[in-house]
Amino acid sequence: MGKLSVSEPGASNESKYSIFQLAGYIFGLTLSDVKEIVPLPRITGIPNVHPSILGVFNLRGQIISILDLRRLLNLEINPVSTKSFILIITLKNMFFGIYVDKVLDVLSVDELKIQIPTRDLALPFLSYVKGVYEDKRLGNIYMMDIEAIINSKEVRQYRF
C-alpha cells in the first residue's frame, strides 16, 4: 500500500489544479483543461463584440481569442497590466485564452475537500463556480466551471 501510495500519490481522489488570481479572488482550474501559460501578448481588439471578448492574439501562428472573465463574473475592472498572463484553455477541441492577473501555483487538491458553494457565500460569480477549496496558504480557492463559462449566453453567441 505504502509503495502504491508513493508511486501514485492521491491516486484515488487527488487531481491537479492550476491556481491563478483575478481581481483579488483566487481561482482554480483543472490542469487537464489548461494547455499552456503565456505572458500577456500584444492583443488585437475586435469591434462590435461583447466586452467579455478582450480580443485576439497570435500564438505561434494560431489565432487565439481571449475571454475577459472579469466582465463575465462581474468583478472589479482594473486597467490591463503588462505583467498579466493568458491561460490557454483546450476544451472539446476548442482553443481560447483567458486573461488572469497572476498565475500562483499548480496544486494537487483532494477532490473530497472541495465543498459545494452555497448561496451564503454571496459571490457575484456563483453560477460559474463548481466548488470552494480552503487552502492553508492561499485561503479560499474558487474552482471555476469552465463549461458553464463557455455555455454562458455572452460566450455562446460567438461559438461555432
Partner 1 sequence: MKSTSSSIKRNFIIALFPLIILLVLVIGYFSYQQQSAHVIDAKQLHLSQLASYAAVSFDPVVISRIKTQADMETEPYKKIQTIVSYFTSKAEDDSYRLLLLRKNNNATEIVMDSRNQNAIGQSYDFIKEMSDALRSNQTTTRQAKLPDGHRIFAYAPIPTAASEANVVLMIEQNIKSALPSFFRTLLIPGIAGVFILLVLFVISIREGKRIDRSINFITDNCKRLSKGEFFKKPEDDSLYLEEIDTVLRSLQDSLKGAKESGTEREKIQKQITELLRIVSSAAEGDFTITANVTADTLGALADSFNLMISDLSELVRDAKKAAEQVATSTEGILLNIEAMAQGAADQASQTETISNFGKEMAQLINETNQSAIRAAEAAHNAKSVAERGSEIVKKSIMGMHNIRDSVRDASRQVRLLGEHSTRIGEISDFIGEIASRTNLLALNASIEAARAGDAGRGFSVVADEIRNLAERSSNSADEISKLIADVQTGISKTMAAIENGSKEVSEGTQLVDSAGEALREILGSVEISTSSSVEISKGTQEQTRFSEKIVSTLDHIAGIAKETAEGAKRSKESATQLEYLSKNLNQAVAKFRLAQ
The site for partner 1 (CB under 8 A) is made up of: 8, 16, 18, 31-32, 34-39, 83, 85, 103, 105-106
Looking at the Cβ atoms of 76 and 110, the one nearer to partner 1 is: 110
Looking at the Cβ atoms of 32 and 151, the one nearer to partner 1 is: 32
Kindly state the smallest distance separating residue 141's Cβ from partner 1, in Å: 16
Contacts of 93 (CB under 8 A, 6+ apart): none
Q: What is the 3-state secondary structure (H, E, C) of 97-108?
A: EEEECEEEEEEE
- Residue 45's φ and ψ, nearest 5 degrees, are -70, 150
Strands 94-100 and 62-67: parallel
Kindly state the smallest distance separating residue 122's Cβ from partner 1, in Å: 31
Looking at the Cβ atoms of 37 and 150, the one nearer to partner 1 is: 37
Kindly state the smallest distance separating residue 46's Cβ from partner 1, in Å: 26
Decide: helix, strand or coil at residue 26.
Answer: strand
